[in-house]
Structures are given as C-alpha cells and as structure tokens.
Structure 1
C-alpha cells in the first residue's frame, strides 16, 4: 500500500519587523507580504502583494487578518493606506474599530 501524500502545510504569517512587513509563507515559500510603517501607537499599511503563483487561494485575506490581529494585540491604531487592506476592512467591519473613528471618512469606511 502506498503512503498517503502529506497534507499541505498551513500558511504561516510572520512579522518581519526589520523589513517592516508581515509575510505569509506556504509550503516553505514566501507567498506574499503586507508592508507597513510604524510610529508610536500607530501602524500604517502601505502595500500588500501576493505572488502570482499563489493568487486565488485566499492568502491575501489570511495575511491581512493576521496582521490586523497582531496590531490589535499590540494596541495599535491602524491606518489602511493600502487599498487591499482598506477594502478588506470594509468587508470585515469587526476590524473597523482598529481604524480611529476620525479617520473612517478618509479611508471610506462606514
């Protein structure tokens, strides 16, 4: 009887602070990243990118969710300058509280 193929590795998100970005890895490969800038009490997401080889797998959403969860755990206010992060928050209103209420109009959030 042949051995079963190993289950695919669960994607992993890491905060690579020295490069100011969260990275998502799957199958031992870098699949994408969310770049950010920080200042005391605030994290601004500036750009999100998923490698074309990994598109359509929901990795961008997983990456943003993990990055926002990390920001929440650290007590950081979020400024979603990146259009992908901004649209993801708009679709997941349970994360809108991370964006200061006075910034909602600026980022098109309800």
Structure 2
C-alpha cells in the first residue's frame, strides 16, 4: 500500500471540501458548509474503491477536526461517516457542537 497524496482544501464562499486526488484522477472528498463565523457542518464523505483500506475517509475527517480546532470553531457532523468517527474519537469532543 502506497502513501496517500497530500490532503488539499478548496473553499468557495460558505462551502468547501477536503480532498485527496490520486495520480489516476480519482478523488476521495469530505464536503462542508460554514455556518456563521464559528460553526462548520460536515455534509458528506465519499471514498471511491481505489482508496479502500487506506484510511482516506478518516484522514479527511481528522484534518478537518484539526483545522476546526485551530480556528476555534465547532462542528456538526451530519455526514453518517463523520458522525461515526466522532463517536470513535472522544478526543474530538472539544470541537463537537452540543
């Protein structure tokens, strides 16, 4: 198993996404929406079969959590995959919107 390419971030207005693009052009992505100045909603995570078994989805959510924490914001994980990762990672509770 090879190392995944670097996670990239794209933002347009209130929307954004973290993504990993393989040399083949396939992308794993996690999309989000900014709500006001202090909150982010994780909308969707999609990981094509080319990424299976490499932890790409978890890496995308982890990067988002790190960035949200640094920015002093909170997150609402509406995406079922992201919500499941928050349940598995109690150390992320500080950024979880209650």
Both structures adopt the same fold (TM-score exceeding 0.5): yes
Match of 2:11 in 1: 17
Structure 2: how far apart are the matches of 1:26 and 1:9?
A: 10
* Counterpart pick for 1:73 among 70, 73, 76: 70
Number of equivalenced pairs? 95
Cα distance in structure 2, aligned partners of 1:15 and 1:69 = 13
Moved over 6 A (4+): none
2:43 alignment partner in structure 1: 46
- SS of residue paired to 1:20: strand
Moved more, 52-61 or 15-24: 15-24
Whether the 8 Å CA contact 1:44–1:80 is kept in 2: the answer is yes
- Structure 2 vs 1, CA of residues 73 and 29 (structure 1 numbering), >3 Å: closer, same or farther? farther
List runs of 5+ in structure 1 lacking aligned partners.
1-7, 104-110
Once the two structures are TM-superposed, the CA of residue 56 in structure 1 deviates from its matched residue by 1.6
For normalisation by structure 2, the TM-score amounts to: 0.84
Residues 66-96 of structure 1: CA distance to partner in whole angstroms, max 9, x if unpaired? 1110111111110001111111011010002
Distance in 2 of aligned mates of 1:72 and 1:13: 17
TM-score (norm 1): 0.75
RMSD (CA atoms): 2.0
